[in-house]
Amino acid sequence: MAFTLPKLPYNIEDGIEPAISGKTISFHFGKHHNGYVTKLNNGIKGTKFENSSLEEIIKGTFENEEFKGVFNNSSQHFNHSFYWNSMFPNGKEPSQKVKEVLANSFGSFEDFLKQFKQKAATVFGSGWCWLVADGKNLEIMQASNAMNPIPLNKKPLLVIDVWEHAYYLDYQNNRGGSIDKFFQVINWEFVEQEMKKAGLF
């Protein structure tokens, strides 16, 4: 099957205020993400993964040297699609239910935000910072390059992209500033939906 870019729940030109400009999303979605999708489709053509789902491809190519490029591009397609859904312009507060789930694992909602920022800010080089569920336990997972929770059989709940191309046009080398703004646009309804899927409530 041919993979395509996801439909975004907001207009690219408008950006994701107050965190990400339309210019950044235009480059990030239209160039970077689109490039991963194109390379993924080319990479699976004529292989055993040609008709596989995205998650099947990610699991099947993980730590497989022959399909290293396919793993990177399939993972980056998954990561970016999840990232776009993790945000919404002028985000609202999470529900009490979500706050309670986070407090159970991290002490309080505020402690979760502090720990998530610290982990996201200290990913070395290019990568991602995920909130994941491992059974009923929540973890903050640092991931280098294209890595994500899928090959580890953990459930993703939220992600921030800390590759430089995700924030450099708007924040230059101020990764911490971009993380603070990300907190203002988290799509907590999406996070709650993923928590339900993971059986957290």
Q: How confident is the model at residue 193 (pLDDT cuts 50, 70, 90)?
A: very high
Per the annotation, does 28 bind a ligand?
yes
pTM of the complete model: 0.97
Whether 13 is covered by a domain: the verdict is no
| Digit-coded pLDDT (tens) for 73-110 | 999 999 999 999 999 999 999 999 999 999 999 999 99
Per the annotation, does 111 bind a ligand?
no
Query: Mean per-residue pLDDT for 41-67?
Result: 98
| Digit-coded pLDDT (tens) for 127-182 | 999 999 999 999 999 999 999 999 999 999 999 999 999 999 999 999 999 999 99
Question: What is the per-residue pLDDT for 1?
Answer: 72
Per the annotation, does 165 bind a ligand?
yes
Helix, strand or coil for residue 156? strand
Q: What are phi and psi of 176, to 5 degrees?
A: -60, -40
The count of structural domains within the chain is 2
Whether 107 is covered by a domain: the verdict is yes
| Digit-coded pLDDT (tens) for 114-141 | 999 999 999 999 999 999 999 999 999 9
Q: Dihedral of CA 125/127/132/135: which sign?
A: negative
Residue 35 belongs to what domain range?
21-85
Quick one: how many helices (H) and strands (E) in the chain?
9, 3
Helix, strand or coil for residue 57? helix
Q: Say if residue 77 is in the same domain as residue 101.
A: no
